[in-house]
Amino acid sequence: MTQTAAAEPAAAPVVTRFAPSPTGYLHIGGARTALFNWLYARGRGGKFLLRIEDTDRARSTPEATEAILKGLSWLGLDWDGEPISQFARKDRHAEVARQMLAGGTAYKCFSTPEEIAAFREANPRQPFQSPWRDATDLPDALYAIRLKAPRSGETVIADEVQGEVRVANDQLDDMVLLRSDGTPTYMLAVVVDDHDMGVTHVIRGDDHLTNTARQIQIYDAMGWPRPVFAHIPLIHGEDGKKLSKRHGAVGLHEFAALGYPPAAMRNYLARLGWSHGDDELFGDAQAREWFDLGGIGRAPARLDFKKLEHVSGHHIGTMEDAAVLEALEAWMAEAGHAPLTETQSQRILGAMGALKEKAKTLPALLDQARFALVERPIAVEEKAAKSLDPVSRGMLRTLTAAVQNVSWTRDALEQAAKAVAEENGVGLGKIAGPLRAALAGTSTTPSVFDMMTALGREESLARLRDQTDLAG
């Protein structure tokens, strides 16, 4: 009789989380942490959860929470389920502390703040040692609940980025789990929330690494499985120092305001501290497929605005024209610009191929698209006006007559302009300058022939006549 081998148990689904504190704007480092968690979960068919760590009631604000949600949505990071409020779960946190007390892995501590301060002043290099750890004769008074942490041996963190990190247990104190007023501490809340949410991978900044040994002790005391830890290095400025306002933009909202498309930010942030060979430019599908914890480096990443512009220009250049227009209109709305009219949108869309070639950001693209926004009569900037002398206006008049009945295509328009230039014994550039001024009122524009095709025959000829009529 043939025996059938038992099926291998299915691997637990990956669950990651992003857990920001709503005390200010979403920092670019936090946005990258969220992205790494999102990529890791989405690339493995798992869940990406969002938890708002709002236990600091004095500093947490609804406005900051809204800014976090808005920032993640702008970046294109969707989360599963509703965002979880850590503060709303305070009763569950307290319940676990009391379970630990009942199970003997925690104890009641009646030490006063003054007694604790006196111990630390007398023993500056030692963790606080509560005299109540093994006490049996307990007073009827307010108490905190402390973890009964191991006093000998080591707590070992198997970190996917930092490697094996060992912390001597005699260097850790019996941390407070529940304060004497009944409120849970952050350290307890994080562990309880991650366990209850089923988080399998904790991917966060390496500034949390010192907390991890303590949190592991809570997992072990409760008999809960430890998640996989991955502590990623922080982001530094171009000078190698910790990122701060002196380096320029540090909040995600500031990068959005500068006009970098979300797809470009996802690409750039993914490469900020993580690598997949020499690949620099890629889309979401590739990032989800490639991203793994082993590709994260241990050294701090450096923010490089020139590289960001390069990545941004690549994404603008490869996006569908309609998608660029949509991103542009969204940026304009946030920046307080008047919405585009249907005519303006169509003109920009008609010239999008040329506009995308040079634009590194959405504001730069909008600047190139000025010709599509201005209305007749066009005010000509001083620099551009210098090219509109009487001779140039005369050539524009000849060109206006020459293109009246030609096929309104880029090639046909360019051939007509070349013919007029040759007739006047000048190069094409001599006619392109005044043509640019007449069509856009500025000297910085896309190709004059791209502008003419986008504006259409009627509008282009009307703008040319406005200038040729001034020739007398």
pLDDT at residue number 469: 81
Per-residue pLDDT tens digits for 354-374: 999 989 999 999 999 999 999
CB distance 227 to 200 below 8 Å: yes
Which segment of 55-64, 83-92, 156-165, 179-188 scores lowest on mean pLDDT? 55-64
CB distance 237 to 303 below 8 Å: yes
User: Do strands 163-168 and 106-109 pair parallel, antiparallel, or not at all (unpaired)?
Assistant: unpaired
Per-residue pLDDT tens digits for 238-262: 888 887 767 667 899 999 999 999 9
The more confident residue out of 159 and 470 is: 159
pLDDT at residue number 250: 86
pLDDT at residue number 471: 54
Calculate mean pLDDT across residues 186-208: 97
pLDDT at residue number 213: 96
CB distance 143 to 180 below 8 Å: yes
Beta bridge partners of 50: 18
Beta bridge partners of 424: none
Give the ranges where 50-112 is alpha helix by DSSP (H): 62-75, 90-103
Instruction: State the Cα–Cα distance between residues 455 and 356, nearest whole angstrom.
Output: 17
The Cβ-side half-sphere exposure at 30, using a 13 Å CA radius, reads 21
Assign domain 88-232 to a CATH class.
alpha beta
pLDDT at residue number 295: 96
Coil, helix or strand at residue 204: strand
Q: How far apart are the first and last CA of the chain?
A: 106
The annotation status of 245 as a binding-site residue, yes or no, is: yes
Residues with Cβ < 8 Å from 88, sequence gap 6 or more? none
Residue 7 predicted with pLDDT over 50: no
**Average pLDDT along the chain:** 93
CB distance 53 to 20 below 8 Å: yes
3-state SS of 394-424? Answer: HHHHHHHHHCCCCCCCHHHHHHHHHHHHHHC
Residues with Cβ < 8 Å from 195, sequence gap 6 or more? 219, 222, 224
Per-residue pLDDT tens digits for 377-392: 999 999 999 999 999 9
Instruction: State the Cα–Cα distance between residues 295 and 270, nearest whole angstrom.
Output: 11
Instruction: State the Cα–Cα distance between residues 352 and 365, nearest whole angstrom.
Output: 9
User: Do strands 201-205 and 228-232 pair parallel, antiparallel, or not at all (unpaired)?
Assistant: parallel
Spatial strand order of the sheet with 144-147 comes to 106-109, 144-147, 176-178
Per-residue pLDDT tens digits for 270-281: 999 999 999 999
Coil, helix or strand at residue 145: strand
pLDDT at residue number 284: 96
Residue 6 predicted with pLDDT over 70: no
pLDDT at residue number 11: 67
Which segment of 215-219, 286-290, 466-470 scores lowest on mean pLDDT? 466-470
pLDDT at residue number 114: 95
Cβ-based neighbour number of residue 82 at 10 Å: 8
Per-residue pLDDT tens digits for 42-87: 999 999 999 999 998 888 899 999 999 999 999 999 999 999 999 9
Calculate mean pLDDT across residues 183-189: 96
Give the predicted TM-score (pTM) of the model. Answer: 0.91
Residue 15 predicted with pLDDT over 80: yes
Q: Would you list the domain boundaries of the chain?
A: 88-232, 252-370, 374-471
Residue 470 predicted with pLDDT over 80: no
Domain 252-370 has CATH 3.10.180.10: no
Greatest C-alpha distance within the chain: 109
Residue 418 predicted with pLDDT over 60: yes
Residue 472 predicted with pLDDT over 60: no
Catalytic site residues?
245
Domain 374-471 has CATH 3.40.50.150: no
Structure tokens given for 125: 């290099």
pLDDT at residue number 242: 81
